[in-house]
Amino acid sequence: MKIRKDDKVLIISGKDRGRTGKVLKTFPKENRLTVESINMVKKHVRPKKSGEKGQIVQMPAPINVSNIKLICKNCSKPTRIEYKIVPREKGKKSLKIRICKKCGKEI
């Protein structure tokens, strides 16, 4: 998955289209992720102790990765991601870095 935790993203489809937020958690096997204050759902919580009241809690639900675009840190525009492999010194693994398709800088 090309998008990671703490990335800033733009929602491109669905009920929250046009809104931006920070990625809280990713689920790579399901190709989904949760974004801060996007796709909020209500969950009914039972009381944990006697005498305590139950409540309704709002929490972000996961959305599909195809419905979002990454916002570049440099040009602050929604963009696609390109990968570049940078060789390192002898004996060390090469690095795989993410690059913005619009400005060409490292994300």
Question: Domains along the chain?
Answer: 1-71 (2.30.30.30), 74-107 (no CATH)
| 22 phi and psi angles, rounded to 5 deg | -100, 140
What is the per-residue pLDDT across 49-100, written as a single tens digit (0 to 9) for each?
A: 888 999 999 999 999 999 999 999 999 999 999 999 999 888 888 999 999 9
**Strand segments (E) across 1-107:** 8-11, 20-27, 32-35, 40-45, 55-60, 63-64, 68-71, 78-79, 81-86, 95-100
- Provide the 10 A C-beta neighbour count for residue 6: 7
- What pLDDT, in 10s, does the model give residues 6-52? 999 999 999 999 999 999 999 999 999 999 999 999 999 999 888 89
pTM of the model: 0.85
